Chains A and B, each alone.
Chain A
Amino acid sequence: MATLLRPPGPDPASPAPGPPPAPPRSRWRRLPFSPWHLLLMPVALVFVLPLVQMVLTSFMSDADINRFPPQLIPTSLHLAGYVGLFTEAPILRWLLNTVIVSTISIVAHLVLCSMAGYGFARLKFPGRSFGFFAIVATIMIPPQLLMIPTYLMFARLGVVDTLAAAFVPWLASAFGIFLMRQFFLSLPRELEDAGRIDGCTTFGVFWRIVLPLARPALATLAIFTLLGSWNDLVWPLIAISDEHKYTLQLGLTSFQGTRRTQWSLLMAGNVVATLPLIAGFVAAQRHFIATMTFSGLKG
């Protein structure tokens, strides 16, 4: 069962590297496996089985889906869901829109937040403490308070019903600035001093010395921004009503009204919307967990 379920995620190399296993405690030496598996195996299944069912259902025929009791494994492979998805709905357009929104968000986030984080961590300038304090304070403002005025602002600026409405809220974030500042504070100053003695400008030090060292933090920030902007529903929902400007998430929710019973199509849409993120997460999960440890996210 476990090997069957492996595709969604594990990094295959994982058990091998790392320090050697600790010697088992004597009481458990009689069991052929650690008793923790008895807890972890069912828990892992509860978390991953719905996703497996999502993928499998996307390849089912309607007859398979409507059978009772429900089947997990399709009796035969059907692509009707995907065919319907790509021919009857502008899903490629939505996918493209989402990719555009996420790409702009990630690039802007990486550039703006790392620069601001570096400024607040290392440079001395008037208004620095106040500016940083104001940014951190905005974390407390709940997004729903901003829904109405942001919508009105977008309406005045004429970005309602454009993709800009989906990416402008994601260009920079207090969280990103905070994360990058924490990371830069943890770097030793000596390298930067050496660079400055060698005649680098402030920007040169930042660009050539600091940024290459910040790769794990940048990877984490990119993952967080990808997650947030790719999965965002609220901003597109309030600001975009033209079907050709929909993001994937907005398109998916519109299916709920119009294609309520076409389950294979709905699940195919889910797979298209979720798989890129799962792949991205699995690729970056080491960075991600490492950064969580140092960023102070853990408190």
Chain B
Amino acid sequence: MATGVTTRTASEDATATPQRPARSARRRRRLVVRAVSGWSFAGPATLLVLGLSIFPASWAFLISRQRWNGIAPPQPVGWRNYERMASDPDLAAAVKHTLVFTGLFVPTSILLGMVIAVALNRRIRLVAFYRTCIFVPFVASAAATGILATFVFNPQFGSANDLLRRVGLPQQLFLEDPKQALAVICLIALWGQVGFTVVVYLAALQDIPRDLVDAAMVDGANPAQVFRHVTLPQLGPVTVFTAVWQTITALQLFDLVYTTTRGGPLNGSQTIVYYVYKQAFQTQRFGYGSAVAYGLFVVTMLITLGMIWYARRSKLQAF
């Protein structure tokens, strides 16, 4: 028996024991069969996912240290592309726009999502109708949303200005005003994204044990107190998850900018990813574009890790 145990451990790290060649060969064959059947299940998808992410990501790093327009042979330039980022006013503006958008979008989408989900989480008439209405814009594509938004926010005949006129407020240029464009894009993004946050919060709310709420009620808590001291703490983890998710989405804003303003007017709504797209696919600066994309990657990761670290420190079990 004792030898059996040792062969078992030995065959784990694939060293054959000379005394028992037949047995270890059988074990090795079983290992091979397992590997083959396991990888024939997991292999194709793994290969595709890694091949379309880790491979191009490493390639992007090589490109980011070159000057290359895609046609002429690339010239190695070391870290110069990264150094250039520090003194690029257009990039600085794009970073500012992205941060302003993120600062507006993330807290608002979380707050709206939570409030609407709390309102939807009860048995009243029409609740399924409301839920569907609020979620449906999430299904619309960025292209459709962008076209619809340029119509609704059209300064001449759009409904948004009509609404302002009716309540006696001055007319606005919306997407055609460099100062407003980004805020309007944020409104449009909220319209499309809040449905997702609502569903995530609804799922979390329905997970809160009924007993907890009942116990608080028996103890004489009013609905506001129940929400503050029972419901809200239970929503901690999902809030961290949503915040991280929405922050990543916001930092990567591209589609809506492309389909509404194309970064304009006067670059007033140009975000980092839109800037990367312009550098690479309109002015053929592959090297510099890749460097900016890497910069954004690092910043996104730091922000994400920072949020997770903060959540861990505050004992919110989200990850």
> In the complex, how many residue pairs between chain A and chain B have their CB atoms under 8 Å apart?
325
With a cutoff of 8 Å between Cβ atoms, the chain A residues found around residue B48 in the complex are: 112, 171-172
Query: Contacting A147 at CB < 8 Å: which of B53, B277, B297?
Result: B277
Q: Is the CB of B122 within 8 A of A36?
A: yes
Which one of B52, B60, B300 has the highest number of Cβ atoms from chain A below 10 Å of its Cβ? B52
| Per-residue interface assignment for chain A, residues 243 to 271, with 1 indicating a CB less than 8 Å from any chain B CB and 0 otherwise | 00000111011011000000100110110
With a cutoff of 8 Å between Cβ atoms, the chain A residues found around residue B237 in the complex are: 299
Return A104 CB to nearest CB of chain B, in Å.
Answer: 13
Query: Contacting B258 at CB < 8 Å: which of A14, A253, A274, A293?
Result: A253
Complex interface residues of chain B between 296 and 319 (CB less than 8 A to chain A)? 296-297, 300-301, 304, 318
Q: Is the CB of A298 within 8 A of B203?
A: yes
Which one of A40, A115, A227, A230 has the highest number of Cβ atoms from chain B below 10 Å of its Cβ? A40
Measured between alpha carbons, how far is A274 from B146 in the docked complex, in Å?
A: 13
Complex interface residues of chain A between 4 and 57 (CB less than 8 A to chain B)? 5-6, 8-11, 14-15, 18-19, 21-22, 25, 33-34, 36-37, 39-41, 43-48, 50-51, 53-54, 57
Q: Is the CB of A233 within 8 A of B37?
A: no
Among the listed stretches B2-10, B18-26, B81-89, B125-133, which one makes contact with chain A, having 4 or more residues with CB under 8 Å of it? Answer: B125-133
Complex interface residues of chain B between 231 and 277 (CB less than 8 A to chain A)? 237-238, 240-242, 248, 251-252, 254-255, 258-259, 273, 276-277
Q: Is the CB of A169 within 8 A of B52?
A: yes
Measured between alpha carbons, how far is A33 from B248 in the docked complex, in Å?
A: 40
From known contacts A145-B293, A148-B290, infer whether A135 and B258 are also in contact, taking CB-CB under 8 Å.
no
From known contacts A112-B45, A120-B42, A138-B49, infer whether A298 and B207 are also in contact, taking CB-CB under 8 Å.
yes
Interface residue total, chain A, C-beta cutoff 8 A:
113
With a cutoff of 8 Å between Cβ atoms, the chain A residues found around residue B242 in the complex are: 299
Q: Is the CB of B133 within 8 A of A8?
A: yes
Query: Contacting A126 at CB < 8 Å: which of B31, B70, B126, B252?
Result: B31
Asked if A158 is an interface residue, CB under 8 A from chain B, the answer is no
From known contacts A50-B191, A51-B137, A145-B60, infer whether A118 and B144 are also in contact, taking CB-CB under 8 Å.
no
With a cutoff of 8 Å between Cβ atoms, the chain A residues found around residue B34 in the complex are: 123-126
Among the listed stretches A83-91, A191-199, A277-285, which one makes contact with chain B, having 4 or more residues with CB under 8 Å of it? Answer: A277-285
Measured between alpha carbons, how far is A115 from B44 in the docked complex, in Å?
A: 9
Which one of A149, A273, A282 has the highest number of Cβ atoms from chain B below 10 Å of its Cβ? A149
From known contacts A115-B44, A116-B44, A231-B141, infer whether A147 and B280 are also in contact, taking CB-CB under 8 Å.
yes
Q: Is the CB of A233 within 8 A of B142?
A: yes
Query: Contacting B157 at CB < 8 Å: which of A54, A66, A206?
Result: A66
| Per-residue interface assignment for chain A, residues 163 to 176, with 1 indicating a CB less than 8 Å from any chain B CB and 0 otherwise | 00000110111101
With a cutoff of 8 Å between Cβ atoms, the chain A residues found around residue B152 in the complex are: 50, 53
With a cutoff of 8 Å between Cβ atoms, the chain B residues found around residue A39 in the complex are: 115, 119
From known contacts A10-B129, A145-B60, A281-B135, infer whether A119 and B38 are also in contact, taking CB-CB under 8 Å.
yes
Asked if A289 is an interface residue, CB under 8 A from chain B, the answer is yes
Asked if B16 is an interface residue, CB under 8 A from chain A, the answer is no
CB nearest to A282 among chain B residues: B132
With a cutoff of 8 Å between Cβ atoms, the chain A residues found around residue B130 in the complex are: 40-41, 43-44
Measured between alpha carbons, how far is A51 from B191 in the docked complex, in Å?
A: 11
Q: List 22 A-B contacts (CB under 8 A).
A: A10-B126, A11-B128, A14-B129, A15-B128, A22-B123, A40-B127, A47-B194, A50-B148, A112-B45, A115-B41, A124-B38, A125-B35, A140-B304, A144-B252, A145-B296, A147-B276, A148-B286, A256-B150, A289-B202, A298-B203, A299-B240, A299-B241
